[in-house]
Amino acid sequence: MPSEAEIRKIVFGFSDFKVKPKRLYLRTRRAGRSSPAPPACLDQSSLRVTSGSISTSIMASHIVGYPRMGPKRELKFALESFWDGKSSAEDLKKVAADLRLSIWKQMADAGIKYIPGNTFSYYDQVLDTTAMVGAVPPRYGWNGGEIGFDVYFSMARGNASVPAMEMTKWFDTNYHYIVPELGPDVKFSYASHKAVEEYKEAKAHGVDTVPVLIGPVSYLLLSKPAKGVEKSFPLLSLLGKILPIYKEVVTELKAAGASWIQFDEPMLVMDLDSHQLQAFTEAYSTLESTFSGVKVLVETYFADVLPEAYKTLISLKGVSGYGFDLVRGTKTLDLVKGEFPSGKYLFAGVVDGRNIWANDLAASVTILKALEGIAGKEKLVVSTSCSLLHTAVDLANETKLDSEIKSWLAFAAQKVVEVNALAEALSGQKDEGFFSANSAAQASRKSSTRVTNEAVQKAAAGLKDSEHRRATNVSARLDAQQKKLNLPVLPTTTIGSFPQTIELRKVRREYKANKISDDEYVKAIKQEINKVVKLQEDLDIDVLVHGEPERNDMVEYFGEQLSGFAFTVNGWVQSYGSRCVKPPIIYGDVSRPKPMTVFWSSIAQSMTARPMKGMLTGPVTILNWSFVRNDQPRYVTCYQIALAIKKEVEDLEKAGINIIQIDEAALREGLPLRKSEHSFYLKWAVHSFRITNCGVQETTQIHTHMCYSHFNDIIHSIIDMDADVITIENSRSDEKLLSVFREGVKYGAGIGPGVYDIHSPRIPSTEEIADRIKKMLAVLETNILWVNPDCGLKTRKYPEVKPALKNMVAAAKQLRQELASAK
């Protein structure tokens, strides 16, 4: 065995602890470089002891959760290879294990004391909880025992015989979770030991993690009544049935050696009634006896905890600590200052887990020092505002990013370092060099001339003086448009994108790398568009799309052509399952230097006599699916984007495009969690959409698209958007959307509730689609109904898309015949 000095020399290049190993990690990570890993031949236990002795005097630090896809999307590719039958379950598990270990080691090396465990997932953490409590819907044929990949992925994605469970947005993020389906007959059972297994796995590698569980009350409130169960079924009535499973899990975790367990209860930031708040009290009172011998953290995030919820939270039995989002929940700070229970731990989420801007360390230290006087140095823990799942993984992988802009940023790996740096500073071990660099970066961003465009600021400021509505009402417009377009009853269309093949992605990749010429690229994309147009004509679809072969992502594509945006190479963020997005970074004022889509839309329209939709992403979606600047109100940035899209809409119209779709898939997603804030958000969000198309002629048909959120509570705002046609997700959510029309809401514009779920490989039959259309016709007028899938087809494969669209068109034709015969 080498001596400690020899180990230090081999691993870190020095033997004198005046420079600490952890500091070397921090410096390289802060600088955006990878830190040196210890040689595999070394005795890791010796290294761990040495590392542990370094950080004993540092204030405690904590990370709520961490991205699971990997810095280069390793999990995504492993999942898709497994789903395609190209690799085994063991291959997938090996990739997952390697990712988990690298994440745990990264946080341990950075000096984080409370490292989250069980935040890794093969698909979704809520689905993991469904598996843990054995709440598998009967249609998946599960007969008990430990839930394996077959049942797990069938719930997530569906299979040849049964559809997937509903997927919807996780609070106000772009992450999607799988919605549990519960009813009075559900029989909970401990069916997935993942939390315990991953704790033991980390421990075997010398890392003591804090297992993270979705709390029982939040889990029930995030669920929905199963099909066939009354919509009024009280989900919280199942609390007594589910708590015994949580007791089993806690008992096993304690037996495995866990000293802390984190219960995520994000529903505590919502508007809750007294009955719902009482459920938290009952749940933790029931679990209290099980908590003996382990400390429990109840974590909240995404917004303020309201006063009544705060009182409930700090009164929960058996709870040792409370975690708060102090970035989006600034009012919670006042509650903490007003009252905080003695002897409890305060996990202060001062590092933003939802955005990529570097923390203002000086400002955070001020907040933390104030909290230190309330909770005490020993009980204050520096933390992230929420899981880092919602940010990109590692700035070190961004070698092409502008150096000035890069100095303003911090991805997940850098946020881990920021948390630890703050903990060090509070412990009297402030890294003056790091804080100085941070201060300089903050100043640089505030003074940079590339951030502000006075003309754009002035134009956006002037938008408040008008409602920006079209000259005629929607009824008159639809009449004028039908005379021009001459569409059949129940017109068919798709949402925009078509499958992006390996060959197509290769063309874009080679063009970006300058391996093919402009002419070669244009020729290849034209060929792809022609293929998609011909396919749609062969299928007899009425309103066509060009398939978007030139686009990498519906937001990134536009951001790349707008000023004020920056882009990453590996800044991927999980949206759902294996689906990742690479959000643009809005760092400055936004404008459109030149047309963005007119060239390709014009080419596509020239290939067919049928109407071709011009495809745009709306301003609210671009905003909500980007990392947005935090130095001005979000609505100001949104108005700037709206003006840029307005120019594009008008140029498309001039080019002869008669139908223009402006997608607002993320409008509902941005709705604040506080009901009191809904009205203001919806006012500027809807206004932004109207700005984009207020200047077109009444014969130009404006479409929009929305997906994967609950829309019934904002239906009047959707109507106020004043689009001519809206296509909207419907099939995967058990047609909840239709209920709003059954309840008497009158909708006069065109509407296309999705007739099949595109996020599943399952191919719906003609009869199934026809049945869905009939349900729609029972609550919607025939002359306004459109027939279309739930969403774009980018993530599907042609062997799935062709038969599904064929069946969709056949169903529409069948219903047309039936309607004609009934006259």
> What one-letter code names the amino acid at 743?
E
* Distant-in-sequence, close-in-space partners of 294: CB < 8 Å, separation ≥ 6: 250, 253, 254, 258, 259, 260, 261
* Distant-in-sequence, close-in-space partners of 713: CB < 8 Å, separation ≥ 6: none
- In terms of Cα–Cα distance, which of 701, 12, 39, 54 is closest to 420? 54
- Known catalytic residue: 62? no
- In terms of Cα–Cα distance, which of 225, 246, 127 is closest to 175? 127
What angle separates helix 44-54 from helix 4-12, to the nearest 10 degrees?
A: 90
Phi, psi dihedrals of residue 612, rounded to the nearest 5°: -115, 125
On whether the CB atoms of residues 98 and 365 are closer than 8 A, the answer is: no
What angle separates helix 21-30 from helix 4-12, to the nearest 10 degrees?
A: 10
Catalytic position from the list 62, 546, 705, 759: 759
- Burial profile 164-191: b = 16 or more Cβ within 10 angstroms, e = fewer: bbbbbbbbbbbbbbbbbbbbeebebbbb
257: left (phi over 0), alpha (psi -120 to 50) or beta: left
Distance CA 716, CA 746 (A): 10
- In terms of Cα–Cα distance, which of 518, 492, 420, 479 is closest to 111? 420
How far out from the chain centre does Cα 360 lie? Answer: 25
Distance CA 418, CA 359 (A): 7
On whether the CB atoms of residues 96 and 45 are closer than 8 A, the answer is: no
> What one-letter code names the amino acid at 503?
E
Burial classification of residue 433, based on how many CB atoms lie within 10 Å of its CB (0-12 exposed, 13-18 middle, 19 or more buried) = exposed
Question: What six digits make up the tokens of 237?
Answer: 């009535």
Which one-letter DSSP state was computed for residue 85? T
Q: How does strand 585-591 pair with strand 627-628? A: parallel
- Burial profile 785-806: b = 16 or more Cβ within 10 angstroms, e = fewer: bbbbbbbbbbbbeeebbbebbb
Distance CA 275, CA 267 (A): 13
Length of the chain: 823
- In terms of Cα–Cα distance, which of 27, 18, 33, 47 is closest to 105? 47
Beta strands in 180-259 (DSSP E): 181-182, 209-214, 224-225
Beta bridge partners of 565: 586
On whether the CB atoms of residues 381 and 346 are closer than 8 A, the answer is: yes
Strands laid side by side in the 115-117 sheet: 115-117, 209-214, 260-264, 295-299, 321-325, 345-351, 380-384
- In terms of Cα–Cα distance, which of 49, 47, 55, 45 is closest to 11? 47
The residues annotated as belonging to the active site are: 759
